[in-house]
Amino acid sequence: MKIHFKVTGPALGLLFAAASVSGQSINEAQKAIRTEQYQKAKAILKNLITAKPTEENQFYLGWTYLLEDYSDSAKTVFEKGIALEPKSALNYAGLGAVAKLNNNTSAMTQNFDQALALAGKHTDPYIYVARAALLKPADANLALSVLAKAEKYGAKDAEYQMAKGEANHTKLDNSAAISNYTDAQTIDPKDPGIAVAIGAIWKQAFNFDAADQKLKEALALDPNYGPAYRELAENNLLWARHDMKVASDKIKEGTAYYKKYLDLTDHSPESQMRYADFLLESGDYKTLEQVAADLAKSANTNLRIYRYLGYAAYENGNYQQGLTSINKWIGQADVKRVIPRDYLYLGRLQLKTNQDSLGMLNLSKAASLDSTFADAWSEIAGALYSKQKYAAAGDAYNNYIEKSHKGKLNDYFREGMSYYYGYSDQYYKTFDDKNAPKPDSLLLTKADSAFSYVQQKTSAKPVADVILYRARVKDLEEPDRNNIKAIAKPYYEQYISLKSTATDDRSKKSLGEAYAYLGSYYSLVAKDEAQAQDNFQKALAANPDNKQAKAYFDKKSPQAPKGK
């Protein structure tokens, strides 16, 4: 006897829901995540959750959101997973990851500890706590210490060995990472992701041929493994930077590989964001601005695209558009997601749009938050110097030299000039305003120190301008203008010996200055009028407009030499 059941209402819906996911599984979702097909992964996981909500399905959906940079959505999903199963180690690992991204160390530690306490002999919670620790800013030591606790459970687990490899690679212990990946490949020789991971290490070591070979090995295992194409693109880009002979070909190949990667990840906004990352690293700001502008048109775009639009617009000279975009990013993003590089570009864009004070403030903020942006002090110094804020410019050049460790002799020279003009401004103000504060003599000391450093480094081939500025500094260092010790004299004499045959107007004007100084010395200090007259005549010959020389001869005679 057959019994027939009539399926109606909600039961019919459940039947169709079950049928719709019958060909889908958590393994397929995990594969989609590994191949960076996040839209596909989310669709599978949402269908699985609709049919049968489980803490595992919730976790992988939340982890996908994390990989897409949607930490708020991830947190909501992880919390639902814990509501389904209060002892869900994986979802506590996920909450710890969210807390890490939010720089909430206390919540991160609490959730990681809870995940490990609930893990038992299952390796997955250890693996995902470790991977969470590797989210930026990465803590490789924490990841390795977590994985060490599961060594006896995970030694024969390829995913566990992969996680160890990721941690050691992050720590730049590539020998250990290669060993981990080799162990993983022995356990699971058909996983293309392992070959990709090894290829990435060879790329980092600038062994581009070995990287290329390993990445193509991954494609032999799975021709549709998207991450392999992405790594090939990035390997070719780095190759092009290090070998100009093949640069053009490698850039073309890299671009083709990246387009293949995009095709395999269905051109989703997330894969487009990865493409934007690639363009940013490659320095292709024209394409980046176009891609970012297109993504910004979507109502559902990731807010981070405005960061890239700001960067690219600055590099392409579209300063107002760049400022609008970077302000949108910084103004609307969670403050914990704003990085020092954002302030760097904000400051640059503000300088370019005549917001100098704000620009310098944000450039200094970037440099203070991240020492790798110490070059910003050079930009600040240039801006201050152009605004004739010389003493502050000198401090900025000094910061650049000390903090970037990349200062060149020109930077020391600019530092000296800034301090010199800072002092001379203060000095001459005392002539016009008797209530003006006394000039800061420390500025002269700093100026002379900078010029002296350049002079020492160029002693084999002296630089005339350095000698000239040392002469000017020494002249201002005179303790008593009524009893001159002529400490600038040897410097002016050296300048004359270096530039006596110069024919350019700037050098001739400076020669006039040097001869006039010597004329004053012989007239007022040495009391040698013959020498004084000779030097003043040379001053006029070099620069007929030299005021000191003209004044000297005006006093001597109305028929004074006027120069040529």
- Indicate if the pLDDT at residue 1 is higher than 60: no
% of the chain surpassing 70 pLDDT: 94
Looking at the chain, which residues constitute the CATH 1.25.40.10 domain(s)? 53-188
Banded pLDDT at 533 (limits 50, 70, 90): very high
pLDDT (tens digit per residue) in 314-332: 999 999 999 999 999 999 9
What's the pLDDT score for residue 476?
95
What's the pLDDT score for residue 380?
96
Q: Which CATH number fits domain 53-188: 1.10.1740.110, 1.25.40.10, 3.30.590.10, 3.40.190.10?
A: 1.25.40.10
pLDDT (tens digit per residue) in 449-489: 999 999 999 999 999 999 999 999 999 999 888 888 999 99
What's the pLDDT score for residue 300?
75
The set of residues, in sequence order, having a beta carbon less than 8 Å from that of 450 and lying 6+ positions away, is: 412, 413, 415, 416, 419
Burial bucket for residue 291 (CB in 10 Å: 0-12, 13-18, 19+): buried
For the ranges 17-26, 80-89, 110-119, which has the lowest average pLDDT? 17-26
- Indicate if the pLDDT at residue 3 is higher than 90: no
What would the DSSP string read from start to end of 131-147? HHHTSSSP-HHHHHHHH
pLDDT (tens digit per residue) in 195-248: 999 999 999 999 999 999 999 999 999 999 999 999 999 999 899 989 989 988
- Indicate if the pLDDT at residue 282 is higher than 80: no
- Rounded to 10 deg, the angle between the 340-352 and 356-369 helix axes is 160
What integer is the mean pLDDT of 379-400?
96
Banded pLDDT at 349 (limits 50, 70, 90): very high
Q: Report yes or no on whether pTM surpasses 0.75.
A: no
What's the pLDDT score for residue 255?
85
